[in-house]
Amino acid sequence: KAGHFERATRIACELDLPADLPQPPRELATVIFRIVEESLTNVARHAGARHVRVRAHGTDAGLEITVADDGSGIRETLSQDGRGHGLQGMHERVQAVGGRVLNGRDAGGGTTGSRQVPLPRWDVHATH
């Protein structure tokens, strides 16, 4: 939860999770939880951030989770090859379910990472 993360790290955490976002299948819910958990761990350990935003939304391809911080920014070599800072494990988790991971430095500083998880049995538009 955001409150626990904020208390433990003193990094403000904003959640942008639509109320109508359907519950993913159980096996994918665990993958999604671990992806967000590892992303926040990386922010706390390496970013030097004061604020992080976690956003999830449904797309035609499934679910997209974006974690953006205002920290020092990921090194270009890490964002390109996905190694280090727990990124390799995150890549493996996402790829195991047929998804994609995109990491990059923001122009004004900080890092934005998007994780796209296909949810073939989940109609992301069912509640819209």
pLDDT of residue 77: 39
When pLDDT is averaged across residues 32-42 and rounded to a whole number, the result is 89
Report pTM: 0.80
pLDDT digits (tens, 9 = 90+) for 12-26: 999 998 887 777 788
Cα–chain-centroid distance for residue 18? 15
pLDDT of residue 21: 77
When pLDDT is averaged across residues 88-95 and rounded to a whole number, the result is 82
CA atoms of 63 and 58, how far apart (whole Å): 5
In the structure, what pLDDT confidence band is assigned to residue 79 with cuts at 50, 70 and 90?
very low
Angle made by CA atoms 8, 95, 15, in degrees to the nearest 5 = 35
Q: In this structure, what is the dihedral angle of CA atoms 23, 26, 30, 35, given to the nearest 10 degrees?
A: -40
pLDDT digits (tens, 9 = 90+) for 26-35: 888 888 888 8
* Mean model confidence pLDDT for the chain: 80
pLDDT of residue 67: 93
Is the CB of residue 1 less than 8 Å from the CB of residue 36? no
In the structure, what pLDDT confidence band is assigned to residue 74 with cuts at 50, 70 and 90?
confident
